[in-house]
Structure 1
């Protein structure tokens, strides 16, 4: 019973070399034990039923049955948290996003193709994601994405006022400097001033974004900036996928893009997303000079901190599912500078309740709602 408290990992890859390499990553790991290997999707389905692992790593591209087809069957027959290993090709990125939509917890991009001799570069990331994924409730992975065609009725949404700010009582109890300002901000929220929507998310984010962005009406009277923790090459596929499903325009942000209402700009992997004021307009600045935060570039904190410097608009800051605490430090900066409404995704719908939990713990979050209510909450605060 030596390993009874460890999470059990099954490794699925058609390359013996890759299977060995990944197994070695978990040698001596105090939290995870490798209990088996599988050579393709069919083998994986059989081994999952036999060995009952707590978590699976699975290659996307395999003979006989690829990772995507295997995942769909696994989530039907014997659901388990799965981390996909993906190549950074365009088709690899598209397949990876399909995998996440079909229930994969997360993915890790191989540094150099199907057989990556330099896989050690992503060892830390893979090990951390496997350790976390083992504890994700399977019920959350199986939850279907909401009706993609549902777009909010703006008129009825703006009239809804029954939602109570989460931390009204907490804020009134706080005595530290700045509390009065924050309460005042809520009372001076105006429908006439310009608005900007800022969204930050990580693990589980692509599904959460689909749930939110597809429900926003094309008449939305604000630009939307999005930071989703993802490596270069994947954010473009994410933007294109969301653009095809949404009423609003969704694009991967480009340096010099001029902000427009009704357009969502997703920070490209490998770049921080910032704003620059040119005359009366705002343009996107992509920055690689500033180092990653907590291993992330783009980082939510960097975007929040940068936008907090501009008082030309009120901000709606949204923090959704993800590991870690990116966004909470930036939220403090936002709240100290101008009118800000903060929305956090509730623990009930988060794949990983890390980033929203850290935000709520700042006691500066105004609304905590399920992912399928976030679009409605955003619209409530827009003119």
Structure 2
């Protein structure tokens, strides 16, 4: 829009910024903005008016298809342009739908992120005693057309009677049900008809001990039930994506685990200081939740360093885990819920559902969490990029089964800054796809068994200090 104040505002350059992020910020802040996007010889525009995406054009293509075409460009340049109040409204859908659909199309185009394809829809069985919640879950799972709900059971007993008939690829299981609860049902499923199981429950009703017991018994992942709010479409996108990932779980590799022994108080290490030369970042996803505590306990025992654990678990659950982890780790364990100083001999727990920035100050390094969110893009890319830019010591990145790798930008920055990427031996992973992608991009320095990682780190840190 023409303005009499041509000299007001700022001009500059921002690198490694996703177009999705700019559009989301404009829509959330109810901004009016025109964006011209250039990719090689191609050029397009996206018009946002009062927080709504109203028009897009690339050549002779207009409307939604033009928007999706632009959003599928992997890189390019953009600039703001004036918005004509009389410009046509060629897009009617809500911006959240448009961004999610663009993300889906980008994933389809990106062959490097595809490890095989399914010719048939994913067959899912829902086990939940609430008929209302079962209908909500059915609508959520089937919205994108790539999942069939082949059975709905009201309790564990009904589920066990139904499994042989419906032959699901994946089961979603509530924890608290009458007749036969989720824990008893899970035990029977793992013995009678092993199948990937995802626990879906309200976090408020789930204590950390209960959730960890389900994961130790064989559940591949834990997810919160969807909540009706303004982000319901984004929740739907993320739930469907995680169900597809969990369904790839190789249940034959599951080994029932017991938690590490409790660490006596006199064996706990004193909290370290802000000046430390090495930082270990553990990234664990579906299929790794049951044994990540063993790895953290081993690391705390073997070395003195900074330690961050990223997990694909709901933020509310991660915030409750320190009580459970503190009993079994010789480090102090904290969840990052506010501006937190990064010190050695302390394990900081973080959820992939919360964006976290890194800040450097006179007193050291600080972790700054944002609001909990269900983003369609991984928060790991932004966090790891920030970490690589601010932390000046040696970074050791450990990737376990089902790790959230985003678009690989964060991992690339870690490598560029001389960081080391170590992945779990893929033949031992319940869900190996993300690690296959990292390996295919030739970003892996070492591939080892999980129970060998702590001793390997100890040797590497000692040799770098000599």
Q: With structure 2 as the length reference, what TM-score do the two structures score?
A: 0.63
Unmatched 5+ stretches in structure 2: 1-117, 264-274
Deviation at 1:227, TM superposition (A): 1.8
Is contact 2:283-2:403 (8 Å) kept?
no
Q: Give the greater-gyration-radius structure (CA).
A: 2
Aligned to 1:196: 279
Match of 1:96 in 2: 211
Distance 2:139 2:371 in 1: 33
Cα distance in structure 2, aligned partners of 1:229 and 1:335: 22
Structure 1 residues 194 and 33: CA distance shift in structure 2, 3 A? same
- Give 1:1-383 correspondences, 5 Å limit: 5-27=120-142, 31-89=146-204, 91=206, 94-112=209-227, 122-140=235-253, 142-145=254-257, 148-149=260-261, 194-218=277-301, 220-268=303-351, 270-279=353-362, 281-288=364-371, 294-296=376-378, 299-310=379-390, 312-322=392-402, 325-326=405-406, 328-337=408-417, 339-383=418-462
Cα displacement (A) at 1:375: 2.1
Higher RCO, Cα 8 Å, sep 6+: 1
- Counterpart Cα distance in 2 of 1:367 and 1:355: 15
Residue 44 (structure 1) shift: 1.3
Kept in 2: contact 1:304–1:327 (CA 8 A):
no
Whether contact under 8 Å (1:219, 1:262) holds in the other structure is no
What's 1:184 paired with?
Answer: none
> Do 1:8 and 1:34's aligned partners in 2 also have CA atoms closer than 8 Å?
yes
Residues 302 and 51 of structure 1, relative CA distance in 2, 3 Å threshold? same
Say how many residue pairs are matched: 333
2:341 is paired with a residue whose SS is: coil
Task: Supply the distance in 2 between the matched residues of 1:96 and 1:66 (Cα, whole angstroms).
Answer: 13
Q: 2: CA distance between counterparts of 1:119 and 1:66?
A: 28
Are 1:212 and 1:374, in contact at CA under 8 Å, matched by a contact in 2? yes
TM-score, normalised to structure 1, is 0.76
Q: C-alpha distance in 1, partners of 2:158/2:234?
A: 28
Gap change, CA 1:15 and 1:307, over 3 Å in 2: same
Alignment RMSD (CA, Å): 3.2
Structure 2 contact 380–404 (Cα < 8 Å) conserved: no
> Are residues 224 and 353 of structure 1, via their aligned partners in 2, closer, same or farther at CA, if it must alter by over 3 Å?
same
SS of the residue aligned with 2:137? Answer: helix
Paired position in structure 2 for 1:173: none
Task: Name the CA distance, whole Å, in 2 between partners of 1:266 and 1:327.
Answer: 22
Tell me, in whole angstroms, the C-alpha distance in 1 between the residues paired with 2:141 and 2:390.
Answer: 46
Question: What is the CA-CA distance between 1:135 and the residue it aligns to?
Answer: 2.8
From the superposition, tell whether residues 65 and 146 of structure 1 become closer, same or farther in structure 2 (CA, over 3 Å). closer
How far apart are the structure 2 equivalents of 1:327 and 1:362?
Answer: 12
The equivalent of 2:85 in structure 1 is none
Q: Distance in 1 between matches of 2:438 and 2:456?
A: 17
Distance in 2 between the 1:365 and 1:105 partners? 25
Output the CA distance in 1 between the equivalents of 2:349 and 2:225.
Answer: 22
Deviations 1:340-361 (A, max 9, x none): 2211122222222233223223
Tell me, what secondary structure is at the counterpart of 2:409? helix
Q: 1:294 to 1:150 in 2, by over 3 A?
A: same
SS at match of 2:321: helix
